[in-house]
Amino acid sequence: MLELTDVSRTYDDGHPVHALRRATLRFAEGEYVTITGPSGSGKSTLLNVVGLLDAPDGGSYRVRGVETVGLGERLRGGIRGQLFGFVFQAFHLLPGRTTVENVELGMLYGPHPRRVRRRMAMAALDRIGLAHRAHADPRTLSGGERQRVAIARAVGGRPRAVFCDEPTGNLDSANTGTVLALLRELNAAGLTVVVVTHDDRVAAEGHRRLRVVDGIVGEE
Ligand code: ADP
């Protein structure tokens, strides 16, 4: 589904920072891949490039056969909205909006018309066992519940892949277990899951494990 060939990303920080060096890798539909590596090694850069949040400055990146390098932000955003969902360490739920409204916001750039989004958002909350909190302010939820809502927001529009950057970084062991079970379940239902983590327990979930060192991506 995702095919990177010689993909590089260099930041200009007064001097060039080679965050990603000629990465060549594939992600098949339905895979569960975890990515580890030291802090500053390029994991988030890789995830952002693969998720089309950031554009590489060299190489080829095909998504379902479509070359994305060289596409404008509008077209890349279109592919991203159709196919990808994102989960971050800090949840990023909007306060002052209800839980179900937050989940609906995840579909804003997706293919689903506004009139079906509420129903899909409720279905996503139901799947994570939080339908009864649909009209609560996310500030009243626990950390584990907030991350489950963030996952519902990421997958409510039924993307093909979800990219998670340290999804359990703010969670205790019990909530980590709940989030991992949820990701496992989504993957079993066919969703491609890619997770960046420094937690060995999370890394062990991957059917395939990648390790990034100094901007170079390798298989474990
Ligand atoms: P990781 O996720 O493994 O901690 P990152 O992908 O965040 O690593 O960063 C890789 C390297 O790129 C680091 O040296 C980091 O300082 C640098 N970097 C990341 N983002 C930027 C940016 N926007 N501008 C300049 N340098 C950056």
161 vs 84: CA distance, rounded Å: 5
Q: What is the mean pLDDT of the chain?
A: 95
Q: What is the pLDDT of residues 76-125, one digit of tens each?
A: 999 999 999 999 998 899 999 999 999 999 999 889 999 999 999 999 99
What spacing in Å lies between the alpha carbon of 11 and ligand 1's midpoint? 8
Nearby residues of 189 by Cβ (< 8 Å), 6 or more positions away: none
- Domain boundaries of the chain, sorted by first residue: 2-219
Position in ligand 1 atom list of the atom nearest CA 45 = 6
At residue 121, the pLDDT reads: 95
26 vs 137: CA distance, rounded Å: 39
Judge contact between 7 and 20, C-beta under 8 A: yes
153 vs 164: CA distance, rounded Å: 12
214 vs 209: CA distance, rounded Å: 17
Position in ligand 1 atom list of the atom nearest CA 196 = 2
Nearby residues of 15 by Cβ (< 8 Å), 6 or more positions away: none
Tell me the percentage of the chain whose pLDDT exceeds 90.
93
Q: What is the pLDDT of residues 149-167, one digit of tens each?
A: 999 999 999 999 999 999 9
Q: What is the pLDDT of residues 115-126, one digit of tens each?
A: 999 999 999 999
Position in ligand 1 atom list of the atom nearest CA 212 = 3
The residue type found at 166 is E
Quick one: fold of 2-219?
Rossmann fold (3.40.50)
Q: Give pTM, 2 decimals.
A: 0.94
Q: What is the pLDDT of residues 137-153, one digit of tens each?
A: 999 999 999 999 999 99
> Two tokens at 39?
């802090």
Specify the 3-state DSSP secondary structure of 158.
Answer: coil
At residue 109, the pLDDT reads: 87
> Is the minimum distance from the CB of 13 to ligand 1 under 6 angstroms?
yes
Position in ligand 1 atom list of the atom nearest CA 44 = 2
Q: What are phi and psi of 205, to 5 degrees?
A: -70, -25
pLDDT of 13 above 90: no
> Is the minimum distance from the CB of 41 to ligand 1 under 6 angstroms?
yes
At residue 52, the pLDDT reads: 97
At residue 61, the pLDDT reads: 98
Pocket test for ligand 1, best of 7, 13, 54, 212 (most atoms within 8 A of CB): 13
73 vs 50: CA distance, rounded Å: 14
Nearby residues of 135 by Cβ (< 8 Å), 6 or more positions away: 98, 99, 100
> Which pLDDT band holds residue 220 (cuts at 50, 70, 90)?
confident
For 40, 121, 156, 172, the CA distances from 150, given in Å and listed in that order, are 25, 11, 10, 17
pLDDT of 198 above 90: yes
pLDDT of 192 above 90: yes
| Strand 32-36 versus strand 208-213 pairing type | parallel
> Is the minimum distance from the CB of 216 to ligand 1 under 6 angstroms?
no
Mean pLDDT of the 197-207 span: 95
In this structure, the number of other CB atoms found within 10 A of the CB of residue 51 comes to 20
> Atom 27 in ligand 1: which residue has the minimum CA distance?
11
At residue 212, the pLDDT reads: 97
Residue 186, judged by CB atoms within 10 A of its CB (0-12, 13-18, 19+), counts as: buried
